[in-house]
Amino acid sequence: MFYHPKLSKFLETYGIIAVVVVMMIVLALIKPDVFLSAENLSNILKQNASLALLALGMLVVIITGGIDLSVGSIMALAMVCIALAAQAGVPWELCLLIGPAVGLAVGFINGAGLTWLTLPHPFIMTLGTLNIARGVTYLVTGGSPVTGLSPEIRYLGVKYWTLGIFQAPAGIPVSIVLVAICALGLWLFLNYTSTGRHIFAIGGNSHAARVSGVNVDKVLIIVYMICGSFAGLAGLLLVGRTGSGFPNAGIGIELDAIAAVIIGGASFFGGRGSVLGVLAGVLIMGLLRNGLNINNVSAFWQMILIGIVIIVAVYIDVIRRKAATRK
């Protein structure tokens, strides 16, 4: 079989981008008038902005070989806290900080609980906080949406930058600008800081990382705080987009975040993953759903197809891992 190291490395790094391009070409050929409209393309970006933030946070956790099942509940709790604070008359500037702060706090609980209680796997801790955070949202709202958000709080979720070229809703969503800034910051953090390098080291071999002097417990707490803060920020975008904080928000979205990370090339076994891959994974899921929607395919079929894509992505990761161990 033909094998070229440079070609293999190129495909490993940018192959996921090629998949996005091919999907866009196919959808453009099938429904050019609908898919290529500026409004549709803007909506794809806007609708997946919260998922992108959740997936970026999930990436950091999965690189360590962990998982965070609580991000959907954290997002809902952040939305509810923001809406309640706005309803109580808290200045909008402080309301903007509440979402990330709530996520940071729950993330700290996840990381501290995992390390201090020496639980065998983060699945257990984050499954617990998934239920706790969701339960709190129901308790403080009585199960009803909380409205009364000011335009300033909703700005990140609903506004477009038209740049004098497009007319809304066909411009660049402000939410996507925020996602781009967060993605760049996370990329710099993972690739150019000692903590970022320690995160990859823990995912590669946590015991070896600990023996080499890495404070594994401290890094894991930081990892879950990052994931939680990204979930809180996702809540800020979604509460702005929907105009309310509702306790049912984000049910099951943690599975979409995990899927986007795995589809984007991260290893479920840890030690591998990239920001670019995650963004491409989110786009693949967004394009798949959009393509099925504009072709009037049932939502039930969408669930089946996305499930197949996830299984294939994980299987590819298993094959890649086996190949790496043979080298």
The CATH code of the domain that includes 313 is 1.10.3470
Give me Rg for the CA atoms of the chain. 20
The predicted structure's pLDDT at residue 94: 95
Burial 274-292 (b: 16+ CB within 10 A, else e): bbbbbbbbbbbbbbbbbbb
Cα(63)–Cα(56) distance, integer angstroms: 11
In a domain, 24, yes or no: no
In a domain, 8, yes or no: no
Cα(264)–Cα(278) distance, integer angstroms: 5
In a domain, 215, yes or no: yes
Angle, helices 174-192 vs 151-158, to 10°: value is 70
Checking 209-213 for CB contacts under 8 A at 24+ apart, the result is: none
DSSP 3-state assignment of 223? Answer: helix
> What parts of the chain have a pLDDT lower than 70?
1-14, 163-170, 320-321, 323-327
Cα(39)–Cα(199) distance, integer angstroms: 39
Number of domains in the chain: 1
In a domain, 13, yes or no: no
In a domain, 236, yes or no: yes
The predicted structure's pLDDT at residue 3: 47
The predicted structure's pLDDT at residue 326: 61
In a domain, 1, yes or no: no
In a domain, 5, yes or no: no
Provide the residue range defining the domain that includes 292.
Answer: 31-326
The predicted structure's pLDDT at residue 2: 46
In a domain, 293, yes or no: yes
The predicted structure's pLDDT at residue 9: 58
Tens of pLDDT, residues 31-76 = 888 898 888 988 899 999 999 999 999 999 999 999 999 999 999 9
Cα(270)–Cα(259) distance, integer angstroms: 15
The predicted structure's pLDDT at residue 59: 97
